[in-house]
A and B are shown apart, each in its own frame.
Chain A
Amino acid sequence: EVQLVESGGGLVQPGGSLRLSCAASGFILSDHYMDWVRQASGKGLEWVGRIRNKANSYTTTYAASVKDRFTISRDDSKNSLYLQMHSLKTEDTAVYYCVRVDLHSSSWYYWGQGTLVTVSS
């Protein structure tokens, strides 16, 4: 059974840093592109960024709103995905989901349950 479990969320002050983790199980992580998506309370969904698989050199792309502040990485040997967040702003407050990209359809079927990041003084 495919599972994605995020952790690392919490309360952080503006300008601070936080690192989220996503533990993957039930599939071969190294085969897949992985994304982060966030959702502020009562708001819509916003794509944060993507890390491609080993075959595509683990390249990353980011939304303009987080570029140069957030970094996505992965450790396939530990079945883990990470989102390092720096220079956090109040508008980064959201539930953060990790998402697996399907190899065949590129669709996003598997989502974690999310971890809440609150940026506030």
Chain B
Amino acid sequence: AQSVTQLDSHVSVSEGTPVLLRCNYSSSYSPSLFWYVQHPNKGLQLLLKYTSAATLVKGINGFEAEFKKSETSFHLTKPSAHMSDAAEYFCVVSARTGGSNYKLTFGKGTLLTVNP
């Protein structure tokens, strides 16, 4: 079984300040982990992914995430928020469900608000 917990449903930051969106996962197998972003009325877009290579993963738009196995965490960070970062962010875990099948499990999402 696998699951994802996003610890904050809403995060509000000021423009130019750091962003931290927290995610903890649970998986029976070695997981792959993703962060997706969803802007209003747009499709989900991949920000970054971890697939058992480097534990610090760099993504698009200045975002990065660090895989910490001991803490079962995969928090998303950005040094300086921009107004265009305001969106819903989803942490996702992918793991084998049997045979050659994989399943993606999404967290409930964190709404990021950026204040001017």
| Bound together | no
On B, residues with C-beta under 8 Å from A are none
